[in-house]
Structures are given as structure tokens and as C-alpha cells.
Amino acid sequence: MAIERVAVIGAGEWGTALAQAAATAGRHVTLIGRDPDVLAEINVAHTNRKHLGLIKLSHHIAATSRYSGADLVILAVPAQSTRAVLGLLGNLGEPVVLTAKGLEHNSLKRQSEILSELAPDAVPYVLSGPSFAIDVAAGRPTAVTLAGDDVAATESIAAALAGPSFRLYAAADITGVELCGALKNVYALAAGAVEGAKLGASARAGLIARAFAELSRIVPALGGRAETLTGLAGLGDLALSCTSPQSRNYQHGVALGSKTLEPRSLAEGIFTAPVAQALAQRAGVEAPLIDAVNQLLSGTVSIDRIVAGLMSRPLKREN
């Protein structure tokens, strides 16, 4: 699979960072966005100060407002915007790398399911793993997972996007990678709430361990592979999102737990939490942490009462 022209849809923080990574890998990159001021700045000053500060962007990135074809499309818009953006792009036939980590609020669908519905001729790939846009854009070492159904094609795309500091490891479990990426945001809300309520590092560590156990029940029940959980898209991303203040979901959780900070409205976990709860219930999987996050988001139960409820659950063997 020859990949020379890459189009990145979404000129926000993550889209611009992925455009930078693709350009560093030697690809010709078109970055598609809506804000004319941002697009002009990228083309003239080679920066995107609104989203990435003064990081210098590659001169091989051309910003525009219209998509006009490419060998590979990278969709880098929020999960709840995927349907609307794909509707504007039409029935894509190109390979499409999906990067949003979230489940659609109303339909309960994964990102690849939305793509298959709106662009059935497109070939889906999913990029996920422990990564922050600022690190990718700045050229700091970052390793992620790229999942696709065709082994050779997935490896070819991973090689085309890989650079000196951005490494993509090919995998075959699209469903599992998507679920891990979406659900870790829900657990990051919980971890942040524990931090915000000043319940201690021990409580947060215990929560992360139980989140991994819960994730290990849900992902296989919904069609993912167990081995995905121990990789970059599983444990790697869960650990990063549940411990770093750079995570929007963690920040939002801290605000919920402290009751003094302004929550972050861009946290994907807010929208994914009720979907995750519905999917777990449909699959008959016990998910007390996801249930607790939904209680917290409802604003009717305090973090202290939620933790007390979790701590009073019946004792049983860990495994």
C-alpha cells in the first residue's frame, strides 16, 4: 500500500499533532479545519498557537478548509462529532484512521461502526494508546497501537506514519482497541475524582487496579480480545489517563471530586459513561466503577458516598 498523501480531518490539538507526526515521517500532509485564522497561521507562521502553543510545525503541512482526496485519511475530531463530519465528507473510499476515544452517546456505537454506516466503502483503522498531543507534536517519544483487519495493510500504514519518536505497533483487534480507548476515559474521571477529593494515592492505585479488572470483564464480553488489555491501548492508556493532570478526563474528575474547580467540557468520558453503562448492562457484566461514575456525573451523589458504597461491597476473592 503506497501512502504519500495524508489528509488529517480536524485542525485542533490532536489533529495538528498527528499532521506533524505524518509530516515528520515524510508524508505530504493536508490538514483540514474550520477556523480560518488557525488555518492561515499554520500556512504562514507554521504554528497553531490556539492548540499547541509555539511548537514549530513542518513546512510540509498545508492547511485548508476542504478535503480533496488523499491516500489515507486520519479523522481527528471529537467522538460525538464523528457522525456529522463523516456526513459532510460523503462516502469515503480511502483507508480511514479513527482516533477519537469515545462511544456515540445516542446510538451506543463505536467509531468504526459509525464509519461503516456512513462510509461503507472506507477501510477502518483505529489509532489508540498512551499519548498526549503536545508530546507527539513536540517529538517526544510516544508509542501507540494501530488496529486493522488486514495485517499487511495495517503494518504498511503503521510504517508510513512512524517517525523517529512516534512508533505505531500493528494489531488486529479493532473492537478491543476502540473499547479500551473509550472506557479508560470513564475510569480517568473516577481517578481524578479520587484525587480531587483528596482520598489519597492508595485509593487511586486501588481504583486503577479494579478498573483494569472491570475492563478485563467488559472488553471480551463486547467482542474484544483479552490480549489487547495488556498492551499500549489497554493498560498503557489506562495508566496514563488515570494518573496525569494533562488528561482532560482526569482534570474533569478532579473538578468533580473537589467541587471547587471548573469541569472540562471537552472530556470524552462524560458522554461515554452512560453508553458504557448501557453496554455493560446489555452484556450482563457487573461494572460497579462505571456505575459509580454515572452517579457522580448525575450530581446527586457525592464522591465520599460513592467510595463508601464501593468499600462496603461484599468481600470476595480477587480473581
75-108 residue pLDDT tens = 999 999 999 999 999 889 999 999 999 999 999 9
Q: Provide mean pLDDT across the span 183-198.
A: 94
Q: Distance (Å, rounded) from C-alpha 239 to C-alpha 62?
A: 35
Q: Distance (Å, rounded) from C-alpha 28 to C-alpha 192?
A: 39
pLDDT at 310: 65
pLDDT digits (tens, 9 = 90+) for 198-240: 999 998 999 999 999 999 999 999 999 999 999 999 999 999 9
Residues 166 and 218 sit within 8 Å (Cβ to Cβ): no
pLDDT at 307: 72
Q: Provide mean pLDDT across the span 7-27.
A: 98
200: left (phi over 0), alpha (psi -120 to 50) or beta: left
Q: Distance (Å, rounded) from C-alpha 65 to C-alpha 251?
A: 31
pLDDT at 264: 61
CATH second-level architecture of 176-311? Answer: Orthogonal Bundle (1.10)
Q: Distance (Å, rounded) from C-alpha 129 to C-alpha 127?
A: 7
- The torsion angle over the Cα atoms of residues 290, 296, 299 and 301, rounded to 10 degrees, is 110
pLDDT digits (tens, 9 = 90+) for 29-73: 999 999 999 999 999 999 999 999 999 999 999 999 999 999 999
Domain ranges of the chain: 5-172, 176-311
pLDDT at 318: 59
pLDDT classification of 260: cutoffs 50, 70, 90: confident
Topology (CATH level 3) of domain 5-172: Rossmann fold (3.40.50)
Please count the CA atoms within 13 angstroms of the CA of 230 that sit on its side-chain side.
Answer: 2
Q: Is 202 exposed, middle or buried (0-12, 13-18, 19+ CB in 10 A)?
A: exposed
123 forms beta bridges with 95
Q: Distance (Å, rounded) from C-alpha 52 to C-alpha 94?
A: 28
DSSP 8-state class, residue 261: S
DSSP 8-state class, residue 230: G
Burial 220-244 (b: 16+ CB within 10 A, else e): bbbebbeebbebbbbbbbbbbbbbe
CA distances in angstroms from 160 to 5, 155, 156, 199, 278, listed in the order given? 10, 9, 6, 45, 37
Number of residues in the chain: 319
Q: Which of 50, 56, 101, 184 does the annotation list as catalytic? A: 184
Same CATH fold assignment for domains 5-172 and 176-311: no
Q: Is 199 exposed, middle or buried (0-12, 13-18, 19+ CB in 10 A)?
A: middle
Q: Flag whether pLDDT at 317 surpasses 70.
A: no
167 forms beta bridges with 143
Q: Flag whether pLDDT at 311 surpasses 80.
A: no
Lookup: cell for 123: 477501510
Q: Quick check: is 316 catalytic?
A: no
Q: Distance (Å, rounded) from C-alpha 135 to C-alpha 155?
A: 23
Q: Flag whether pLDDT at 309 surpasses 80.
A: no
